[in-house]
Amino acid sequence: MKTYHEKISKELNVTPEKAWEVIGAVSGVDKWFNSLIKSCRVDGDKRYCETGEGHQFTEDILEVNHETRIFKYAIPKQDMLPVENIIGTMSVDSNTDGLAIVNWSATFESASENAEKAQEAFINLWGMGLNDMEEYINKG
């Protein structure tokens, strides 16, 4: 197993405050990432999620910094991708027009033969999630 890193940044047609309101709430992932997540609940520093296909996973909430708009989480085990020990970060910045730029990144461990497939999956999943988030906020 080797450690890999992947990252995307996407400008959303929403304010940074609205994007952070959604991310920083920690709960409600099933509302803003509904193309993948069917249910989500938070209990203490754990977030429990289930996908529409029935995959369940638990996230350890590592950091929720409202001042810097950074959310960090860990997913030690899951059965959707051939990776382990995911440590993810979501952050919200502002562009010159006052729109949100959401950065979503992760480090993870994977066998080298699975790494490229996993990196593509992360990019696709995060892109879907950010599109869902933008739509969710704009429906508001």
What is the total count of domains within the chain?
1
Average pLDDT over residues 45-73: 97
- Tell me the residue range of the domain where 107 lies: 2-139
Q: What is the pLDDT of residues 82-97, one digit of tens each?
A: 999 999 999 999 999 9
Query: pLDDT at residue 37 above 90?
Result: yes
Reference 123, options 111, 131, 133; nearest CA is 131
The beta strands (E) that lie in 52-135 are given as 56-65, 70-75, 84-94, 100-110
The Cα–Cα gap between 139 and 120 comes to 29
Query: pLDDT at residue 115 above 90?
Result: yes
pLDDT at position 139: 95
Per the listing, tokens 């309101």 go with 21
Q: What is the pLDDT of residues 94-114, one digit of tens each?
A: 999 999 999 999 999 999 999
CATH number reported for the structural domain that contains residue 124 in this entry: 3.30.530.20
pLDDT at position 140: 78
**DSSP per-residue string spanning 27-66:** S-HHHHSTTTEEEEEEETTEEEEEETT--EEEEEEEEEET
